[in-house]
């Protein structure tokens, strides 16, 4: 996976810079956004859009959504270079959601540096994040690979379907953070992940299928592969937060027990509440619902989760989902190399350490 990511990165970054240049001028604005009625202010748009966007992109990120898209396009027998600009669609969408999520969660840090709203102000950061929901969709209008109208229409409809569900998932997640009780089931938690995280994965997969004109059942199978992988990834994220925090007990820091502090109702929490003795379950809910917690209280919550066997439970669920994803990948009858990459990818999302 690592080589595939490294191999494609320069081309992806070039395509991103074609979409939103590092230096904004009037000519770019006229070409991309259309003739102004009066007169654009390129300086203002530089600071409102390009600066925050490239600040975030330059901090890293694996561009795996863009690369997975290109791997799938190649697997479908098309030339990935021909469809390169489309790889920006999920990548920019993803980075837009990051900026907005960080405002919603009042996050302090992102990729090791201050979250964007701390550097640019909440207004600029939010508007840049929201602009990134629409910017990449203009690629479909520009139509760089000369797609016929029916595929372009299918792509728009797919994007509206998935982006609606993304906000549904985020809505459920946020709403649960703010609730006192843990009242949700594992199925509802998985749905939230399928919507919030899964839909961006589905966009990667369905876009590759649509633009290369695959039949409906292939589009569905590859979407399932991506959704399952993304949900496994999300659970992997939740496990990492608990494991890293437990491994770091004693050297408490800013990142210690983030999810507990935010009151996140993760799969681990849902399981721990179900499986713990009533007094422990109650204590866990109490810590999660508190506005602020000491490091000792966070550690207490993490220990209840660990003692309930919830890390093991969550890991098994993630492994099951990854295995299901591999089954879907096998059904797609790609060439050996593509199948190997897709398989590797389902392992990477759980076994990573960051």
Give yes or no for residue 99 binding a second copy (CB under 8 A): no
Q: Which of 71, 72, 172, 235 binds a second copy (CB under 8 A)?
A: 172
130-161: burial string, b at 16+ Cβ within 10 Å, e else: ebbbebbbebbeeeebebeeebeebbeebbee
Q: Is 157 in the site for a second copy (CB under 8 A)?
A: yes
Radius of gyration of the chain from its Cα atoms, rounded to whole angstroms: 21
Q: How many CB atoms lie within 10 A of CB 101?
A: 17
Based on the shown chain and the rule CB under 8 A, indicate whether residue 23 belongs to the binding site for a second copy: no
68 touching a second copy, by CB under 8 A? no
Residue ranges of alpha helices (H) inside the chain are 2-19, 26-33, 42-45, 51-58, 64-75, 88-104, 116-120, 122-134, 138-142, 149-177, 186-193, 199-211, 216-247, 258-262, 267-275, 278-289, 295-307, 310-331, 336-351
Decide: is 38 part of the binding site for a second copy (CB under 8 A).
Answer: yes
Among 60, 77, 114, 171, binds a second copy (CB under 8 A): 171
Cβ–Cβ < 8 Å for 289, 200: no
| Nearest distance from C-beta of residue 41 to a second copy, angstroms | 5
Closest approach of a second copy to the CB of residue 156, in Å: 4
Q: Which of residues 192-251 bind a second copy (CB under 8 A)?
A: 192, 194, 198, 227
178 vs 216 by CB, closer to a second copy: 178
Beta bridge partners of 113: 110
CB within 8 A of 255, min separation 6: which ones?
109, 244, 245, 248
Output the smallest distance, CB 165 to a second copy, in A: 6
Residue 82 CB: number of other CB atoms within 10 A? 14
Q: Pick the closer one to a second copy by CB: 152 or 283.
A: 152
Of the candidate residues 31, 185, 294, 327, the single one contacting a second copy (CB under 8 A): 185
Cβ nearer to a second copy, comparing 70 with 128: 128
- # of chain residues touching a second copy (CB under 8 A): 66
Q: Does 126 bind a second copy (CB under 8 A)?
A: yes
The span from the CA of 271 to the CA of 310, in Å, is: 6
CB of 251 to a second copy, least distance (A): 30
Select the residue interacting with a second copy from 66, 89, 100, 268 (CB under 8 A). Answer: 100
- Asked if 24 and 49 touch (Cβ cutoff 8 Å), the reply is yes
| Contact set for a second copy, span 277-296 (CB under 8 A) | none
Among 104, 213, 289, 331, interactor with a second copy by CB under 8 A = 104
Binding status of residue 133 toward a second copy by CB under 8 A: yes
- Any contact of residue 184 with a second copy (CB under 8 A)? yes
DSSP 50-106: IHHHHHHHHT----HHHHHHHHHHHHTTS-GGGGGGGGHHHHHHHHHHHHHHHHHTT
Q: Which residues bind a second copy (CB under 8 A)?
A: 29, 33-34, 36-41, 44-45, 47-49, 100, 103-106, 121-124, 126-128, 130-131, 133-135, 137-138, 140-141, 149-150, 152-153, 156-157, 160-161, 163-165, 167-168, 170-172, 174-178, 184-185, 187-188, 190-192, 194, 198, 227
């Amino acid at each position: 996976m690592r080589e595939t990511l490294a191999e494609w990165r320069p081309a992806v970054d070039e395509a991103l810079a074609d979409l939103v240049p590092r230096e904004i001028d009037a000519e770019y604005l006229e070409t991309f956004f259309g003739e102004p009625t009066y007169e654009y202010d390129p300086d203002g748009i530089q600071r409102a859009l390009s600066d925050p966007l490239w600040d975030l992109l330059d901090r890293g990120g694996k561009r795996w959504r863009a690369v997975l898209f290109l791997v799938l396009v190649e697997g479908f027998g098309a030339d990935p270079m021909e469809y390169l600009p489309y790889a920006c669609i999920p990548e920019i969408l993803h980075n837009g959601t990051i900026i907005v999520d960080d405002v919603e969660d009042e996050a302090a840090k992102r990729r090791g540096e201050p979250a964007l709203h701390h550097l640019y102000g909440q207004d600029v950061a939010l508007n840049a994040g929201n602009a990134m929901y629409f910017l990449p969709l203009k690629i479909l209008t520009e139509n760089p690979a000369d797609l016929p109208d029916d595929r372009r229409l299918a792509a728009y409809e797919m994007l509206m379907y998935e982006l609606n569900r993304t906000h549904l998932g985020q809505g459920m997640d946020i709403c649960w953070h703010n609730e006192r009780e843990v009242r949700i089931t594992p199925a509802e938690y998985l749905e939230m992940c399928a919507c919030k995280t899964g839909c961006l994965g589905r966009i990667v997969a369905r876009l590759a299928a649509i633009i290369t004109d695959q039949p409906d059942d292939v589009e569905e199978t590859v979407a399932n592969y991506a959704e399952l992988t993304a949900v496994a990834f999300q659970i992997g994220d939740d496990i990492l937060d608990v494991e890293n925090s437990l491994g770091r007990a004693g050297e408490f820091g800013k990142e210690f027990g983030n999810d507990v502090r935010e009151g996140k109702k993760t799969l681990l929490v849902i399981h721990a509440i179900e499986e713990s003795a009533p007094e422990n379950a109650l204590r866990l809910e109490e810590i999660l619902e508190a506005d602020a917690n000491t490091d000792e209280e966070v550690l207490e919550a993490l220990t209840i989760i660990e003692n309930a066997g919830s890390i093991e439970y969550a890991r098994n669920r993630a492994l099951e989902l990854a295995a299901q994803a591999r089954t879907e990948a096998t059904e797609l009858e790609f060439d050996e190399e593509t199948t190997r990459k897709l398989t590797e990818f389902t392992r990477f999302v759980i076994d990573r350490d960051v």
